[in-house]
Amino acid sequence: MVSVRGTRLVVLGGSLVLAAGACSNLSKLDDFTFADVCVPESLDATCKGVECGPRTNNCGEPVACPDTCVTQGDRREICGDNPEQDPNRCGCVDDPKNPVKCCIPDAFEKVCLGIQCGPRQDNCGQTVTCPDSCQAPYTCGDNATKDPNQCGCTSPPEAMTCVTVECGSVKDRCGAKVECPSTCQPLQVCALGGAPANTCGCTGAPMAIPEAPLGCEKVLGTAEAGNLGRAYYLCGADSYDAARAFCQSFGTDVARPKSLASLDFLTDAIDQSLVADTWLEFGSYWIGLEDPACKAGACNYAWIDGSALTATFYNFGEPNNTGGGEHCIEAQTYAGWNDIPCSNSRGIVCETTCD
């Protein structure tokens, strides 16, 4: 048997050919046996059943097989990344530290579709911060359902909104209207007399003094009578409730003559008033003493401004609540105070409300 050494055997078109260095007098290849010669199999044969990665052919030579790993939906395959760590199989083992290793994240626009604000997890479990579309006073997540991806504004408790408000309605931080409990003293009215909004006010010095309504006469108090800064309005006649409502309609209330000097002052003003002539038939007017709870027994009258009743000027034997229905007080210009039914018609004397 003859072997050919130091000769390169080349395969061309399926035929064996001796390269340079072969003996020149060899005429028939069939006369020789060639040692250490291997003919590589085809790529298809070597890579049969192989999904990806390197492979050694029949001659021991490395062959790179075609990569057939694919991406389907939001999952990707990686050559050799399989539980068995087979270098020729596709797969992908999830890694909690790298959520996008096997997962293809959705587009930002898709993740945040329909989201007004806040963080959102995409299909791969990654946190995505969506654009904040909330406009003041609305903020992200501040809604009734506490949805972290919706704008909203939850109104605070009424007490929190009204903590510095004396009276009237205000808007809370969300723009909702809140009617605050009034802290105004009796006869004070919200924003009356030029007081700022949501502040208790009154009429008369040092606040504004209203003009006289049509059909009324205005009389200003004096230092001698002890009512300087106050104003009085002599108007028509009506029941006690109607008189109070009329006076309140322009920021005043029924008169409160608490001293003999103020009683005399009003008597003199009425004597000189043309308006008061319309109720001279009874010669008296309502004053701001009342007891809404008064029954058949004795009544506990009090000034409507909440001040103490320190002096009284009742006629002898009054008040007597005759018949159990005399719950209001008149001041008679010719005498003193007397209790009568509130439905009676008496003169209307209004007085400003600042003390």
Query: Is residue 56 located within the same domain as residue 112?
Result: no
Residue 214: per-residue pLDDT: 95
Q: To the nearest whole percent, how much of the chain has pLDDT over 90?
A: 73
Give a yes or no: residue 306 inside a domain.
yes
| Domain termination residue (choose one: 62, 80, 99) | 62
Query: Is residue 255 located within the same domain as residue 319?
Result: yes
pLDDT of 6 over the 70 cut: no
pLDDT of 72 over the 60 cut: yes
Query: Is residue 57 located within the same domain as residue 116?
Result: no
Least confident residue range of 17-31, 181-195, 207-221, 331-345: 17-31
Residue 355: per-residue pLDDT: 81
Give a yes or no: residue 169 inside a domain.
no
Give a yes or no: residue 28 inside a domain.
yes
Confidence of residue 344 (pLDDT cuts 50, 70, 90): very high
144 is in which domain, residue-wise?
108-152
Give a yes or no: residue 165 inside a domain.
no
pLDDT of 5 over the 90 cut: no
Count of domains in the chain? 3
Each residue's pLDDT tens digit, 224-234: 999 999 999 99
pLDDT of 116 over the 90 cut: yes
Higher-scoring residue by pLDDT: 353, 100? 353
How are beta strands 189-190 and 139-140 bridged, if at all? unpaired
Query: Is residue 313 located within the same domain as residue 206?
Result: yes
Query: Is residue 306 located within the same domain as residue 225?
Result: yes
Residue 283: per-residue pLDDT: 86
Confidence of residue 252 (pLDDT cuts 50, 70, 90): very high
Residue 36: per-residue pLDDT: 64
Confidence of residue 297 (pLDDT cuts 50, 70, 90): low
Give a yes or no: residue 71 inside a domain.
no
Least confident residue range of 12-26, 143-157, 306-320: 12-26
pLDDT of 18 over the 50 cut: no
Mean pLDDT score across all residues of the chain? 88
pLDDT of 222 over the 60 cut: yes
Query: Is residue 233 located within the same domain as residue 332?
Result: yes
pLDDT of 21 over the 80 cut: no
Least confident residue range of 8-17, 141-150, 175-184, 235-244: 8-17
Query: Is residue 222 located within the same domain as residue 347?
Result: yes
Give a yes or no: residue 102 inside a domain.
no
Residue 3: per-residue pLDDT: 40
Phi, psi of 266 (to 5 degrees): -70, -35
Query: Is residue 341 located within the same domain as residue 232?
Result: yes
Give a yes or no: residue 331 inside a domain.
yes
Confidence of residue 15 (pLDDT cuts 50, 70, 90): very low
Q: What are the structure tokens assigned to 8, written together?
A: 């390169």
pLDDT of 137 over the 90 cut: yes
Q: Tokens 């003169």 sit at which residue?
A: 347
Query: Is residue 251 located within the same domain as residue 310?
Result: yes
Query: Is residue 271 located within the same domain as residue 142?
Result: no
Query: Is residue 206 located within the same domain as residue 290?
Result: yes
Residue 34: per-residue pLDDT: 52
Query: Is residue 206 located within the same domain as residue 341?
Result: yes
Give a yes or no: residue 262 inside a domain.
yes
- 222 contacts 228 by C-beta, under 8 angstroms: yes
